[in-house]
């Protein structure tokens, strides 16, 4: 106590000197620094604080934290997400039997239409080429609904997965893992199998096909809005430099980061908070409007719009896109080859 009193006395003397010098910024810094030194030294010299006794209390509090999960109010949301995801995959598989989808051989570009576009946006394998035409082939469900997988945890608040334990855990879709941690029920057979029987679209009428497109678009919106609600309560991480996602309080320690330019020590991930687009990538594609030509030309690329792949597929099936996508789709924009006079 005598040592602390001396420190306070020195601090008061120092304050008086600073007041005479009329330097308020230096005065404020000095007060904060001297106060921090006094508090830290007094705290470290306190013999009553025993961290060995506090450790079991901290561990017990971490274990008790799992009792508050899953949150009962979020269980219906998690169930709706799982059901809507199943309907989404089934609806997309049905629409793909009627509406052609094209994917590039050498890049992730996807286009929905009778024929692939001629916009020079292909960067080739591993981005070696630039501004090349795409080489199209038939696409599938995974080209529109990008699969994002993560480790399936045995317990929400279990220990962090180490690198040597990466093969001890199954890999499941990130949306399913988030829904399971939120309290949704799913059998082991359904967890390992994602195959769904799709309807025979060839026997459907135009009205039935439109109903399928509307239901698929509705399921897409329910999945995205439900995942956004779940992410407000449950934690999910994504790597800054690759597409790895982990659903849980903290990211795993498996050294699997594949972006070698930014690779850390032995390929460890750099985690940050995940968003909806990290778990359900929207897969933005070029959108052909009624005023556009049948084959989109690279010369007029600035006139064309964009849309998420699922939204574009459903609109071509007869559904009406939500108004929030109108700006992206440029529905009221000018068509190509429109003569106009430049200013000046």
Residue that is written with structure tokens 């003569």 in the block: 339
Q: Does the structure show a pLDDT above 90 at 186?
A: no
Q: What is the pLDDT of residues 278-336, one digit of tens each?
A: 999 999 999 999 888 889 998 888 889 999 999 999 999 999 999 999 999 998 888 77
Q: Residue 132: beta bridge partners?
A: 122
Q: Are 27 and 18 in contact, with CB atoms under 8 Å apart?
A: yes
CA–chain centroid gap for 83, Å, is 20
CA–chain centroid gap for 268, Å, is 19
Taking the C-alpha atoms of residue 214 and residue 306, their distance in angstroms, rounded to an integer, is 19
β 136-138/101-104 pair status: antiparallel
Among candidate residues 292, 308, 311, 310, the one with its CA nearest the CA of residue 300:
292
The per-residue pLDDT for 250 is: 84
Q: What is the pLDDT of residues 4-15, one digit of tens each?
A: 466 666 666 666
Q: What is the pLDDT of residues 187-223, one digit of tens each?
A: 644 554 444 555 566 677 888 899 999 999 999 999 9
Q: What 8-state DSSP symbol labels residue 324?
A: G
């Amino acid at each position: 106590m005598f040592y602390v009193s001396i420190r306070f006395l020195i601090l008061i003397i120092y304050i008086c000197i600073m007041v005479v010098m009329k330097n308020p910024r230096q005065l404020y810094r000095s007060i904060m620094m001297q106060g921090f030194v006094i508090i830290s030294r007094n705290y470290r010299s306190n013999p009553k604080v025993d961290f060995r006794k506090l450790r079991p209390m901290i561990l017990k509090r971490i274990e008790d934290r799992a009792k508050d999960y899953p949150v009962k109010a979020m269980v219906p949301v998690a169930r709706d997400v799982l059901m809507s995801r199943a309907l989404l995959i089934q609806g997309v598989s049905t629409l793909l039997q009627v509406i052609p989808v094209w994917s590039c051989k050498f890049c992730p570009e996807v286009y929905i239409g009778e024929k692939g576009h001629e916009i020079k946006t292909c960067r080739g394998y591993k981005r070696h080429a630039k501004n090349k035409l795409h080489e199209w082939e038939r696409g599938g469900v995974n080209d529109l609904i990008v699969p994002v997988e993560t480790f399936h945890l045995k317990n929400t608040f279990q220990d962090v997965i180490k690198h040597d334990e990466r093969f001890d855990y199954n890999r499941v879709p990130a949306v399913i893992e988030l829904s399971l941690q939120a309290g949704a029920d799913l059998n082991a057979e359904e967890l390992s199998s994602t195959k769904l029987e799709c309807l025979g679209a060839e026997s459907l009428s135009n009205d039935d096909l439109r109903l399928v497109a509307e239901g698929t678009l509705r399921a897409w919106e329910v999945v995205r809005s439900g995942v956004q609600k779940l992410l407000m309560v449950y934690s999910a991480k994504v790597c800054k430099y690759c597409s790895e996602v982990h659903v849980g309080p903290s990211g795993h320690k498996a050294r699997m980061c594949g972006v070698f330019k930014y690779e850390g020590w032995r390929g460890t991930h750099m985690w940050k908070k995940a968003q909806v687009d990290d778990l359900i990538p929207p897969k933005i594609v070029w959108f052909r409007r009624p005023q556009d030509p049948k084959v989109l030309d690279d010369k007029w690329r600035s006139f064309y719009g964009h849309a998420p792949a699922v939204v574009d597929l459903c609109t071509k099936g007869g559904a009406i896109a939500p108004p929030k996508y109108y700006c992206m789709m440029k529905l009221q924009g000018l068509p190509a080859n429109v003569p106009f006079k430049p200013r000046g």
